[in-house]
Structure 1
Amino acid sequence: MDDHRNSTPNAIGLCLLPQELIQSIFLSLVLPEIVRLKLVNKSFSRIISDHTFIRQCNSLSTTTTWLFVYKKRWLRDAVLHAFTDRSPDRWFRIPIADLLKPLDFHGEDLYFLAASANVFLFASNNVRREVLAVNLITVTVKKLPPSPLGPRGTSSWRRSGMKLVADPSGSGNFRFMFAEFVGNRAVLFVYDSVTDTWRSTQPEENRTGSFLPRGGDHVFLNVVHGPRESVLVASSTSTSTPERVDAPVVLRPRFDGGRGSENDDLGLTVGFSWGKVIDRLHVYGDGYMMIVKSEGARGNGVTRVLKGVELWGLTLDGRKWELVSSVSGEVMRVIEKKPYGVMMGCLEEKNGIVKAALVSNCEGFWDMLWLSFDTMWKRWTWMPLPDCKMKGWNMAGISFSSGLTLP
């Protein structure tokens, strides 16, 4: 899972150490490194295949968050780039071209949709416009049957309107959920890998105002972003029975955060545009909304600079967006005035930590920033990411994930 090579003499020397010490060394590594070591020799493979080691490794891996980025390039060179805060000085390269060869896509480009645990979803733009599920640990790939809406091109998949939910037991089973408006009604579509079938449900309006808080076992899928109101589909899921999806509801939270400001007439937006048309980017995920504010760079009508970041969340009744926190202090001083021409982002909440990745491009150079907010301690942190060598490439998907485990 990595493009770095091991030195044979170093591997032999490591084998001479006591097994307990070798296991301790291996446990300090992240999963892609451990998987690669398993291929070095039989001794390493035996240690990594030990049930006790797998249990200890998976206990550490389930709390490790990864950011995955996919470059748009020919299928023969298809590579995922992976970064984790446990190894903050490097990117891992995960080739997937060999996995996809049996499917015969004739060199067609893919788009990276989502990731959860060991499962990664890709969409193609071929005639059938298929969705592929790739398991990086078991090294398997399968095609999903067409959704009830029929074949969908890569531009039809909206990051904020879909969610991949892997079985926490590590079985490799998963559900892929997405929401769309069909006939002026929000519809939830769920694919279950156990039955290899799709199911569609029309959620009911949340008229009572009674709803469980964001986070936990809830999935929030954004459907529409209106001038002052957005539409979400919320579904309560059961981790003990991952095939079950209960009582989806439609939420219509109002947004009043811009009233009285100079950008009051802009309302909700989904991305930046060039010039002075839109000065805010809204990034959605897991019942939260991050608002990234910008302004035009002096003397430049195209390049913009950051001037503020706010985190908003759904109220307990699901009827409004409420301000959670604004980035300030040292973190804001580091990221403000950051220049860019275009920007995108992704957001995920897990165990009370909201993580957001902001990806910007300025004159062909890509730059990435990892922001985190601890909802319990009300604290922001940031992490600059090393260069991903993406100059001249187009990004074809980005996603957070956690829960990578050994089988």
Structure 2
Amino acid sequence: MDDHRNTTPNAIGLCLLPQELIQNIFLSLVLPEIIRLKLVNKSFSTIISDHTFVRQCNSLSTSTTWLFVYKKRWLRDAVLHAFTDRSSDRWFRIPIAELLKPVDFHGEDLYFLAASANVFLFASNNVREVVAVNLVAVTVKRIPPSPLGPRGTSSWRRSGMKLVTDPSGSGHFRFYFAEFVGNRPVLFVYDSITDTWKSTEAEEKGGDGVLPRGGVHVFLSVVHGPRESVLVASMPECDAPVVLRPRFNDAGGLTVGFNWGNMIDRLHVYGDGYTMIVKSEGDIGNRRSVRVLKGVELWGLSLDGRKWEFVSSVPGDVMRVIEKPYGVMMGCLEEKNGIIRAALVSNCEGFWDMLLLSFDTKSNRWNWMPLPDCKMKGWNLAGISFSAGLTLP
């Protein structure tokens, strides 16, 4: 973990304090800071490796949600940028170039696909491989090609894939993605334990059954038309994944993906059985390629999976604060423990801006947070993902 300073004098003074007090100080920090401290000296490493400290630290870390952003840059300088509202004044820099050295990508820029707990997936376009990086265990693992064969970075759709790690902290994970094969939705699952893929054709769902949003269910978006979406749901109690075709009652002109110029006035951000609709208006002055954010709505999958139901919209007083011009926008969305989080990333004439929105389904309350500058001017965004559950081994 980066963000180094000259910590030697402070470290010597801190070592003179009682161990219990040092542990309490360390527990007030976020995990990237704790991992960096572990490298400072042997005394700190011993304290942080203590079983009681690890248990207490992981108890706090599992409830912390991170936003990770990856800039497109030379592989030798590969850095993940991490942000959490527990330390809302700055981004953490996490160098990963050394971790990726065992895998030869011939100097190619990588694309950041997904994250869950300590595991991060990266894909290459030329080599057409996916690798799994464990930031805490400091390991890198090649994932064999899926049954569809090697895939370029443009083949991986953010809303059509999900990484799920074992809650035990073992480092095992499953990588899900859904795709149309022969005009039928198919679920592909890679299991790190067996190092193999399994593909299963999704079944059409009947009129019975309840599909609660979020939780242990995995919802993957396959395709979206003007009025109807196609999702694949994987549920622990079912042998086969299920096809869902939710419809909007009145949704003309809805479009999925990036928002370019004045061609599109609504952007959809999908995840975990929810969709966030970002509305905008164009033709700002003489700048036809610039639009202004005007509204954000949250919709959720109905319990029978047949329609999208309106959940809430960002209130006007918040919209007046976050209203801003942009040329292109993208986002990611995740639900965890009844909290829906969405990151909206926009670019206006070369300047990047990020906004973090969250909605508490229990209190029916919105929160927003402008993120500090990630120093991205002149860079291209090469992946964004939420992740929770970073833990010490």
TM-score class normalised by the smaller sequence = over 0.9
Q: CA deviation at 1:207?
A: 1.7
What letter is aligned with 1:373?
A: F
1:326 paired to 2:313: yes
1:366 paired to 2:359: no
1:303 paired to 2:290: yes
Q: CA deviation at 1:304?
A: 0.5
Partner Cα distance (1:363, 1:270) in 2:
19
Q: CA deviation at 1:7?
A: 1.9
Which deviations, in whole Å up to 9, do the C-alpha atoms of 1:338-384 show, x marking residues without a partner? 01100000000000000000000011010000000000000000001
Partner Cα distance (2:208, 2:156) in 1:
29
| 1:30-69 equivalence runs, <5 A | 30-69=30-69
Aligned partners of 1:229 and 1:255 also within 8 Å = yes
The secondary structure found in structure 1 opposite 2:306 is coil
Partner Cα distance (2:292, 2:50) in 1:
51
Aligned partners of 2:345 and 2:352 also within 8 Å = yes
1:247 paired to 2:247: no
Match of 2:135 in 1: 136
Q: CA deviation at 1:272?
A: 1.1
Partner Cα distance (1:140, 1:270) in 2:
33
Match of 1:93 in 2: 93
Q: CA deviation at 1:53?
A: 0.3
The secondary structure found in structure 1 opposite 2:23 is helix
Match of 1:188 in 2: 187
Q: CA deviation at 1:331?
A: 1.6
Which deviations, in whole Å up to 9, do the C-alpha atoms of 1:63-92 show, x marking residues without a partner? 000000000011111110000010000000
Partner Cα distance (1:203, 1:6) in 2:
55
Partner Cα distance (1:175, 1:126) in 2:
24
Deviates more, 1:4-13 or 1:166-175: 4-13
Match of 2:336 in 1: 350
What letter is aligned with 1:256?
A: N
| 1:245-324 equivalence runs, <5 A | 246-258=239-251, 264=252, 266-275=253-262, 277-296=263-282, 297-324=284-311
Q: CA deviation at 1:299?
A: 3.3
Match of 1:213 in 2: 212
What letter is aligned with 1:139?
A: V
Partner Cα distance (1:223, 1:105) in 2:
29
Partner Cα distance (1:102, 1:324) in 2:
46
Partner Cα distance (2:226, 2:8) in 1:
61
Match of 1:125 in 2: 125
The secondary structure found in structure 2 opposite 1:325 is strand
Q: CA deviation at 1:45?
A: 0.5
Q: CA deviation at 1:209?
A: 3.9
Which deviations, in whole Å up to 9, do the C-alpha atoms of 1:170-215 show, x marking residues without a partner? 0000000000000000000000000000000011101224232111
Partner Cα distance (1:18, 1:6) in 2:
23
What letter is aligned with 1:396?
A: A
Q: CA deviation at 1:105?
A: 1.6
Partner Cα distance (2:66, 2:250) in 1:
31
Misfit runs of 4+, over 3 Å: none
Q: Taking structure 1 as reference, are residues 257 and 34 closer, same or farther at Cα in structure 2, changes over 3 Å only?
A: farther
What letter is aligned with 1:254?
A: R
Match of 2:106 in 1: 106
What letter is aligned with 2:305?
A: G
Match of 1:261 in 2: none
Q: Taking structure 1 as reference, are residues 257 and 374 closer, same or farther at Cα in structure 2, changes over 3 Å only?
A: farther
Match of 2:28 in 1: 28
The TM-score with structure 1 as length reference comes to: 0.95
Partner Cα distance (1:79, 1:270) in 2:
25
Identity of aligned residues (%): 82
Partner Cα distance (1:237, 1:66) in 2:
26
Q: CA deviation at 1:237?
A: 3.2
Deviates more, 1:314-323 or 1:293-302: 293-302
Partner Cα distance (1:183, 1:343) in 2:
32
The TM-score with structure 2 as length reference comes to: 0.98
Aligned partners of 1:209 and 1:318 also within 8 Å = no
Partner Cα distance (1:364, 1:329) in 2:
28
Aligned partners of 2:265 and 2:281 also within 8 Å = yes
Partner Cα distance (1:211, 1:149) in 2:
31
Partner Cα distance (2:347, 2:59) in 1:
36
Partner Cα distance (1:379, 1:371) in 2:
11
